[in-house]
């Protein structure tokens, strides 16, 4: 029977891996989520049984476990149904933190048991429990701060003099306590203090990071959570946790590296440079002025173009304009205009945010292009329509060495023949940097709410 339980764990882990693989493409992502969901159901269901010599028994406190699962499932179902697409990054940060917190809780139980007066065992399992507990606690508190930043609860980065040095000392203290626990397990006080300091470090590590780097930070904490779960899987001897945690940790690490590469910044720079949340000052002086146009002229410009590229950003998500934008694109396609969507890797507030929004609106996947696939075509494009994007189309990334985003690969919208920008007002982007694209001679601003402007463009298109 023990073999059947272990085989079930292995099957669950296999479903996790295959599900994650299918999630790599928008075409198969839904199926991947379903596969991974069945894997989780299998792993959770089989966990209630314990092998006991020649028979199988139920685990202790099963009634409390079932109540906790029921409460958690109801909360998850209700919140997932109600959450707006604009709030999806916050939800991911929050749920990711819950995973890290769960791993830390498992480690705490193991460490408290090891610290009891009747115990004294240490070894590899204790060391892994300490490592997993540290990583899980940091991911938990750090993800909560990331959630608060994205939700607007924390509006400005929290910074103070010598912050990184203080953070290093706090982290070193947590590691030192972990070593002391491994060497002398008979101290509940050390275990509690280690977790308190690790939680504090997660908060202090995330507070100074600007909002523009939150997608990378969320991805990094996702990797942390996966690693913590993997370590605790080894501690518990649970194959499903080992494999699933390792896979999630590896996927999160690779995604973090890819996103940092997309910003042309090392991860250390993301964590320690405090980029984002600036006041828009500094760098090259802006030349020219923003030139407004109305929806009628903008519609005429696009209707009589041969090629149009639409660049969405977080502003489109805020306005919930993705359906209207696709309706506009569909009208253009009906007129014989070649329409494509260009996606920057870090557009939005989480990895793949724009892809999710466009898929929700029904945009065919073959019309969506990544940065490296479409940038060479932008100089020959008649009209680029920017809706809600800001920093990812800012040309100072190519021209101003003093800019925080200098060297970051951008969508070369400014090189197109004409640029239309749908924007609520004249404020700077999420990073606080003034966008020089808006002042270019070939750029025209269409001010207003993204959904309303897109609707007006559709109406104007019908009259052309």
Q: Other CB atoms closer than 10 Å to residue 279's CB: what's the count?
A: 9
Q: Kindly state the tokens that stand for 214.
A: 């939150």
Q: Are 403 and 427 within 8 A, CB to CB? A: no
Nearest Cα residue to 381 out of 409, 404, 414, 405: 414
Q: To 10 degrees, what angle do helices 450-463 and 322-334 make? A: 20
372-405 residues labelled b (16+ CB within 10 A) or e (exposed):
eebbebbeebbbbbbbbbbbbbbbbbbebeebbb
| CA–CA distance, 326 with 364 (Å, rounded to integer) | 10
Annotated catalytic residue 400: no
| Ordered strands of the 443-447 beta sheet | 368-370, 338-343, 307-312, 383-387, 418-423, 443-447
Active-site residue among 391, 400, 412, 414? Answer: 391
Give me the torsion for CA of 411, 416, 418, 424, rounded to 10°.
10
Number of residues that make up the chain: 464
Residues facing 443 on adjacent strands: 419
- Enumerate residues 6+ apart whose C-beta is below 8 A from 86: 317, 318, 320
Kindly list the catalytic residues: 391
């Amino acid at each position: 029977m023990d073999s059947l339980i272990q085989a079930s764990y292995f099957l669950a882990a296999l479903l996790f891996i295959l599900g994650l693989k299918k999630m790599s493409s928008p075409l198969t992502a839904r199926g991947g989520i379903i596969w991974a969901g069945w894997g989780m159901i299998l792993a959770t269901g089989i966990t209630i049984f314990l092998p006991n010599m020649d028979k199988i028994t139920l685990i202790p406190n099963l009634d409390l476990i079932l109540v906790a699962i029921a409460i958690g499932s109801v909360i998850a179902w209700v919140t997932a149904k109600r959450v707006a697409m604009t709030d999806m990054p916050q939800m991911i940060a929050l749920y990711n933190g819950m995973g890290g917190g769960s791993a830390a809780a498992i480690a705490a139980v193991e460490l408290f048991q090891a610290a009891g007066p009747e115990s004294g065992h240490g070894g590899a399992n204790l060391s892994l429990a300490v490592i997993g507990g540290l990583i899980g606690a940091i991911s938990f508190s750090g993800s909560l701060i990331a959630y608060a930043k994205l939700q607007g609860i924390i509006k400005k980065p929290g910074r103070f003099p010598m912050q990184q040095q203080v953070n290093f000392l706090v982290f070193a203290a947590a590691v030192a306590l972990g070593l002391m626990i491994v060497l002398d397990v008979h101290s509940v006080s050390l275990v509690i203090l280690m977790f308190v300091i690790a939680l504090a470090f997660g908060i202090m590590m995330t507070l100074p990071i600007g909002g523009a780097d939150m997608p990378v930070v969320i991805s990094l904490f996702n990797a942390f959570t996966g690693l913590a779960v993997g370590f605790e899987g080894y501690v518990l001897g649970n194959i499903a946790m080992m494999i699933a945690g390792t896979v999630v940790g590896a996927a999160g690490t690779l995604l973090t590296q890819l996103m940092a590469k997309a910003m042309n910044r090392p991860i250390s720079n993301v964590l320690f440079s405090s980029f984002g949340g600036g006041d828009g000052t500094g760098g090259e002086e802006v030349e020219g002025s923003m030139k407004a146009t109305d929806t009628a002229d903008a519609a005429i410009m696009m209707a009589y173009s041969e090629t149009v590229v639409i660049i969405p950003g977080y502003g489109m998500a805020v306005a919930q304009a993705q359906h209207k934008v696709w309706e506009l694109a569909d009208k253009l396609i009906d007129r014989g205009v070649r329409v494509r969507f260009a996606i920057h890797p870090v557009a939005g507030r989480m990895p793949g945010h724009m892809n999710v929004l466009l898929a929700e609106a029904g945009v065919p996947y073959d019309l969506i292009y990544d940065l490296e696939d479409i940038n060479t075509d932008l100089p020959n494009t008649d009209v680029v329509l920017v809706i809600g994007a800001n920093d990812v189309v800012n040309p100072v990334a190519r021209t101003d060495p003093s800019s925080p985003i200098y060297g970051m690969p951008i969508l070369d919208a400014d090189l197109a023949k004409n640029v239309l920008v749908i924007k609520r007002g004249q404020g700077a982007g999420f990073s606080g940097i003034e966008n020089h694209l808006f002042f270019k001679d070939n750029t025209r601003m269409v001010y207003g709410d993204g959904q309303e402007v897109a609707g007006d463009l559709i109406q104007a298109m019908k009259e052309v």
